[in-house]
Amino acid sequence: MAGTNHMSTPEAIRELAKHTEVLVRKFSEFSITYNINIIAGSMPEVIDGKLYNVGYLCRRDGSLERYEKLHVTPDEAKVWGLQGGTKLQAFDTDCGKIGVLICYDVEFPELPRLLAEEGVDILFVPFLTDTQNGYSRVRNCAQARAIENECYVAIAGSVGNLPNVQNMDIQFAQSMVFTPCDFSFPTNGIKAEATPNTEMILIANVDISLLRELNQFGAVRNLRDRRTDIFELRKK
């Protein structure tokens, strides 16, 4: 976006959206070439004249799935003119059922719970936060979601500075993989963590079968012990 600083901020983000189709195609090529499933970071996308924040699941077999950011921050709405999406869904992969929530979305516990009810094993949270305060909101909420919903949660964010880009000049992040907190998992609920605000690759192996054991025999069973006789959550 540094090349569009002569434009207004809403115009610049829409100019960036022109690259989204090419980026998605390249991510899909990478997933096939390297035989991996890729959860892409979110990108601006214009649909019927409205601007959305979306990402794509690129499976190793070449198929694509699209996910939308449902809750836009006040800054995103005011500065960029972003609209909130309307679609929440789980995705089947050859590694288990997954869900993706973009940044601010993980701070709304209803969304991960609805995905948990669809059987999600791993929740992925791509995010961008400029301050450590914003990062702490995403990080702490993501760890809570792993405990509440008996699933793994992987968060990955942007680090470093872009001094020539308006409204995108600083970022703070620490990518991590969270687990439930029970006997079969790390005592602090953290499977792996990157160095704070440092560009690096984080690798972690997770065992889906441990989630099944937790659901049946855990010291606490957050999903099974819900008092559905006095409350319920449903997707409209």
Buried b (16+ CB within 10 A) or exposed e, 33-51: eeeebbbbbbbbbeeeeeb
The DSSP output letter for 194 is P
Residue 47 lies in a domain: yes
Note the pLDDT of residue 61: 97
Residue 28 lies in a domain: yes
Q: What domain range is 193 assigned to?
A: 2-217
Note the pLDDT of residue 163: 83
H/E stretch holding 10 reads helix 9-17
CATH number for 125: 3.60.110.10
Six-digit token string for 96: 């288990």
Residue 228 lies in a domain: no
Residue 231 lies in a domain: no
Residue 226 lies in a domain: no
Spans of the chain below 50 pLDDT: none
Note the pLDDT of residue 92: 97
Residue 201 lies in a domain: yes
Residue 138 lies in a domain: yes
Note the pLDDT of residue 164: 80
**Domains of the chain: total:** 1
Backbone angles phi, psi at 94, to 5 degrees: -75, 0
> What is the reported pTM?
0.95
Residue 27 lies in a domain: yes
